[in-house]
Amino acid sequence: MKTSLLAIALTATALAGSAADAQSKGDWTFGLGLGYVSPKSDNGTLAGAESHVGDNARPTLTFEYFFADNWGVEVLGALPFKHNINIDGVGKADTLQLPPVVSLQYHFVNSSTVTPFLGAGLNYTTFWDTDDSVSGDIKLEDSWGLALHAGLDYALTDHSAIRTDVRWIDIDTKVKSDSLGDLGTAHIDPWVFGISYIWKF
């Protein structure tokens, strides 16, 4: 899965052309879709044991404003993701999280119906409603981190497209318990795979 971002980036470079602008200054886009969050396989040591964070999928939405031709600022939102956390030999937990992302993006100039883009930005992830069988009072601290983004827009009309994309998000959260103290840091660092319908205004 870690090759997905590189593959899309290389495709983006290969498809870049020199025809009309992909997006013009002052344009807005709005997208509705589905995001699949897949944390990395090794999520760190919690309470002295290896931990594993499960996958989850939820509806997503995006807004993007083009402050210059082909350059946009995008905001990603979603319904809360729910993740199961297994701590080997110790217990289990589940938590809700929201990982909004703000990204600066470049949409390549391209003469075909396929427009690639690349972006990078900042993620803020907040966790709440955590239930666990370890101590009954586990909490996950909020996280700030880098986010990378790449994708392809497949034009349907002048004002709509289907988007496929992938993100990598740096999410590290300190895990604490009121009764047991500091349990360690969960390194989630997920790949987020998405598909959405995009409207251009």
DSSP line for 103-158: EEEEEPP-SSSEEEEEEEEEEEEEEEEEEESSSS-EEE--EEEEEEEEEEEEEEET
Q: 159 phi and psi, to 5 degrees?
A: -125, 15
Residue 17 has pLDDT above 50, yes or no: no
Exposed (0-12), middle (13-18) or buried (19+): which is 182, by Cβ within 10 Å?
A: exposed
Backbone angles phi, psi at 92, to 5 degrees: -130, 160
| CATH topology for the 3-200 domain | Porin (2.40.160)
Q: What pLDDT sits at residue 15?
A: 42
Burial 132-148 (b: 16+ CB within 10 A, else e): bebbeebbbeebebebb
- Could you give the CA distance from residue 47 to residue 103 in angstroms, rounded to a whole number? 35
- The SS3 call for residue 174 is strand
Q: For residue 6, which phi and psi values (nearest 5 degrees)?
A: -65, -40
CA-CA distance, 171 to 56, in Å (whole number)? 15
Quick one: average pLDDT of 53-71?
Answer: 97
Mean pLDDT throughout 39-68?
96
Angle at 84 between CA 82 and CA 86, to 5 degrees: 165
For residue 111, the model assigns a pLDDT of 72
| Predicted structure pTM score | 0.86
Nearest in space to 108 (alpha carbons), one of 32, 19, 199:
19
21, pLDDT greater than 90: no
Helix, coil or strand: residue 5: helix
pLDDT category at 14 given cuts 50, 70, 90 is very low
pLDDT at 22: 64
pLDDT digits (tens, 9 = 90+) for 125-173: 999 999 999 999 999 999 999 999 999 999 999 899 999 999 999 999 9
Max intra-chain CA distance, the chain: 63
Asked if the model's pLDDT at residue 6 lies above 50, the reply is no
